[in-house]
Amino acid sequence: MNSSDNGGDDGLARRDSALIFASRFGEFSYGEGHPFLPTRAVATLEMIRRQGYLDEPWMRVVEPGPIQKETLAQTHDSGYIDALAAANDGKWQDRFIHFGLGTEECPIFPGIFDYVLMYSAATATGAKAILEDRSNVAFNPLGGFHHAGRRNAEGFCYVNDVVVAIEMLLEGGMRVAYVDIDAHHGNGVQDAYYEDDRVLVVSLHQTGNTLYPWSGFENEIGAGRGRGYTINVPLPEETDDELFGMAFDDLVVPALAAYDPTVVVATVGADTHRNDPLANLSLTNNGMADAVGKLLPRARHLLMLGGGGYDVDTTVAAWTRMWAAANGIDDLPDHLLAVGGAFMESAGMGAEIVDMPYRLSGPKKKANIAEVDRILDFHRVNTLPMIR
């Protein structure tokens, strides 16, 4: 395994990377048939270990510390947090529906508040490690619940751990940029900072014309003092690695350079993958890993959060590669083959974690290029010049 030297003038080399993991990650279930599987996080740790991506002395697995109910109430309505706590026994109360609880998307299940506390604590633990200058990279694969609102659950998300972490980092004096490469627009994070210039919010996602949450259009650029600090790139269906990379290089990289953040918080959902059943983009994990590899050089710290991904095999492989990319591991040895594991077997065979390249062609590719060019031109005029 080859990794970059990662040294720096500031005294903290990128040699403390924390993968935040609790053994309880695999204990919770949204119910039979629900597409969100918390067990993805368990399979991801297994895969990262199997590939040797925890073998360096500066890589470690960190158990989440505790988090208090009151901490969540700092970023969410206290009545909503009280309702979540009351739902922990899995029994229905009529008031839950007012908070988006008990729907097909966000069901009530036994231990739901324990689950919320656990994934929020894991993200907060990563943020704390960064605040205390103990880690350059922290990754919570069971994190990135970017749809949850201040007083409501939606889109499989109950508490917005992204906002919890960002508030911690802001309070600690850090300059925060948020980059979301999940297939679904991070509407909950956008709503939290739409009128706020303390956070640069960038989201590349499938267009809201064809995918939940039906938002995140390029003309949503913030308001008030936050105008110009929200950047949305609504990608057309079948966007491939090449086009995604073009958008990332031409917009995300210069935006981060202009903003000069101390820390990038990133939701790295793998539902952009061409195999994902809930979205219609055409990335491979090559494009995802390439994007993540470009984040840390633009900031001192990177906090990665899992987000979506509903084909488990491809999600686990993608997160494994993104963890490697975040740590400067740039080799792709021939032996990268996953064997064993309940999720990583298909017809008795292992699943390679390095995807075959894929490139769209023909009239659809030409139309997609024209659409992304149009969006990039919009931002060159309306957002990039405003970032300070």
Tell me which residues are annotated as active site: 147
The alpha-helical segments, DSSP class H, found in the chain are: 40-50, 69-72, 78-86, 112-131, 161-171, 187-193, 241-247, 253-259, 285-293, 312-326, 362-382
**Residue 163: which residues within 8 A CB-CB, separation 6 or more?**
75, 188, 189, 192
Q: Which residue, 353, 270, 343, 278, is CA-closest to 308?
A: 270
Measured over the CA atoms of residue 22, residue 28, residue 30 and residue 34, the dihedral's sign is positive
Compute the distance between CA of residue 44 and CA of residue 120 in angstroms, rounded to an integer. 18
DSSP designation for 251: I
Identity of residue 83: A
Q: Which residue, 59, 52, 51, 62, is CA-closest to 25?
A: 62
Bond before 261 cis per omega within 30 degrees: no
The answer to whether the beta carbons of residues 282 and 290 sit under 8 Å apart is no
Structure tokens at 145: 């619940």
Compute the distance between CA of residue 158 and CA of residue 152 in angstroms, rounded to an integer. 7
Compute the distance between CA of residue 381 and CA of residue 125 in angstroms, rounded to an integer. 38
Bond before 66 cis per omega within 30 degrees: no
Compute the distance between CA of residue 351 and CA of residue 275 in angstroms, rounded to an integer. 14
The answer to whether the beta carbons of residues 254 and 260 sit under 8 Å apart is no
Ramachandran angles phi, psi of 79, nearest 5°: -65, -35
Q: Which residue, 165, 198, 197, 162, is CA-closest to 180?
A: 162
Secondary structure of residue 140 in the 3-state scheme: strand
The answer to whether the beta carbons of residues 309 and 276 sit under 8 Å apart is yes
